[in-house]
Amino acid sequence: MGSSETESESRGFQNPDWETEFNRFENAISSGSASIRVRSVLKLSDLTNRVPESYISRAIPILAGLLRVSDDSNRSVQAAAAHCLKCITCCGGEESGFAVTMGRCGVIASLLGLLLEANTDGNVFRRIWVKCLWSLVTFGSSIRVGLARLGGLEIVIRELNNWEDDGSRWYLLEILSALTTIRESRRVLVHSGGLKFLVEAAKVGNLASRERACHAIGLIGVTRRARRILVEAGVIPALVDLYRDGDDKAKLLAGNALGIISAQTEYIRPVTEAGSIPLYVELLSGQDPMGKDIAEDVFCILAVAEGNAVLIAEQLVRILRAGDNEAKLAASDVLWDLAGYRHSVSVIRESGAIPLLIELLRDGSLEFRERISGAISQLSYNENDREAFSDSGMIPILIEWLGDESEELRDNAAEALINFSEDQEHYARVREAIGHPVFQSMQSRLARIRASHELMVRSMRRVTIQHLAHDHDLP
């Protein structure tokens, strides 16, 4: 080839006539040999980032057809087509809609069929089919339902069971996590022995895929049977690692899923031993309201164990001392929740939280005073805590609150003062509050509640085990 011809070809490569090039591609595919087809398809693969989208859209049905050819004994044409489709999908991304077009052209069904035959084709071809399928579910989220309906999840699970532990296994795991966004796929996963792969998917791959897997774990883990399988598969350290590695979204998802796992009493200890308490302290101290809610709920679960309650109370005290206003409010909410646990009462007192709460009350907002007053009313049922409150100067504040505009503050103060009045050690200090209308109203209300509770207890005692055993209407 002369120099003038080389220069002309170079100019043509830089500024090709795409219509002419596409006609050549069509002719090569329709009448060329297998080797010519392969070369033409691989050339298109190399140019996917330069070819105008209109020509890519015209090429997709042709490539989809190549996946179904019957005269490709060594699978070379099919492999080249699958590789090219993957390149097109990855280059175009979700916005291009190429993946959806491929789904309409039957690419998903063809790939699944090739995977079902892959046992005789070797691992090289299986990787090519899987990578192409991965690109479709990654950049074509709307076609995941179609893949699931064609039995895609079952085939992916089969492949994972047989796949060598090599560098391409993560493609299958990301396909699996994508399919778990579909409710029916999650059911299939539970009943097909695939939960261990869901845990694995939460460990490897890109962050978006790991987050999908984590979200599915949270949805699936609400049943005892699923929780047991997930824990046996190592879900607790996987979720802790995702929390530490991930962004804000991953932290919320991992924190929520870990809380769901810990809802079963036998898993509280392993969740705690995995280092979860500092993670929830971070959520409680953060800016996301959902994160604060998750942390509060999980702390209430973990605090069932007294040792955990001690650790949690220590962390809450640190927040009350050094946190911002929102974090302090969140910490006070948790203290209120923990005040209902019998063993947590002494834990809160010994943590040094009570003097801190009273100090914060003096300058706190109305919202803060309302939240703290709830915790105080609960804690005042314990004799030792009443002593701590009294020594810290809480009683005059409670009496003052009886005249506050906030009904919640008045009621909580009255309930606490009633508990002080029933304690001979503190009766004299609260005597001036006894005649207050708010105090008397709350006293009457509590008396009715206690009487109702005693009546219910007496009624329950009449129902014996023998009565229940002879109730034939019970299931």
* DSSP alpha helix (H) spans, 97-223: 98-104, 107-116, 123-139, 144-149, 152-162, 169-179, 183-191, 195-201, 207-220
**What is the distance between the alpha carbons of residues 399 and 413, in angstroms, rounded to a whole number?**
7
Residues 196 and 132 in one domain: no
Among 175, 217, 215, 211, residue whose Cα is nearest residue 196? 217
Structure tokens that stand for 206 in this block: 């890109």
Residue 376 lies in a domain: yes
Show the tokens assigned to 356: 């801190």
Structure tokens at 192: 């097909």
* Residue-level pLDDT at 345: 62
Q: What is the mean pLDDT of residues 392-418?
A: 91
Q: Are residues 60 and 96 in the same domain?
A: yes
| 297 closest CA partner among 218, 373, 364 | 218
Top-confidence residue, 233 or 376: 233
Do both 214 and 126 map to the same domain? no
Query: Which of residues 232, 252, 274 is at a domain's end?
Result: 274
Q: Are 301 and 263 in contact (CB under 8 A)?
A: yes
> Which tens digits make up the pLDDT trace of 49-83?
999 999 999 999 999 999 998 887 789 999 999 99
Q: Distance from first CA to last CA of the chain, Å, rounded?
A: 90
CB 231 within 8 Å of CB 266: no
- Write out the residue range of the structural domain in which residue 115 sits: 23-150
Number of domains in the chain: 3
Same domain membership, residue 135 and residue 176: no
Distance CA 395, CA 403 (A): 14
Per-residue pLDDT tens over the stretch 284-295: 999 899 999 999
Domain end residue (candidates: 249, 274, 299) = 274
Which of 460 and 222 is assigned the larger pLDDT? 222
CATH number reported for the structural domain that contains residue 190 in this entry: 1.25.10.10
452, 457, 459, 464 alpha-carbon torsion, rounded to 10°: 170
Please indicate, yes or no, whether residues 196 and 110 belong to a single structural domain of this protein.
no
- In this prediction, residue 368 carries a pLDDT of 81
Q: Which residues contact 411 (CB under 8 A, 6 or more apart)?
A: 438, 442
Give domain status of residue 92, yes or no: yes
pLDDT at 121 > cutoff 60:
no
> What per-residue confidence (pLDDT) applies to 95?
79
227, 143: one domain: no
Residue 473 has pLDDT above 50, yes or no: no
Single pTM value for the model:
0.81
Residue 12 lies inside a defined structural domain of this protein: no
> How far apart (Å, rounded) are the C-alpha atoms in residues 402 and 445?
16
Contact 376, 357 (CB under 8 A): yes
| Phi-psi group of 382: left, alpha or beta (phi > 0 → left; psi -120 to 50 → alpha; rest → beta) | beta
Amino acid code (one letter) for 400: E
- Give the per-residue pLDDT at 119: 58
pLDDT band at 6 (very low <50, low <70, confident <90, very high): very low
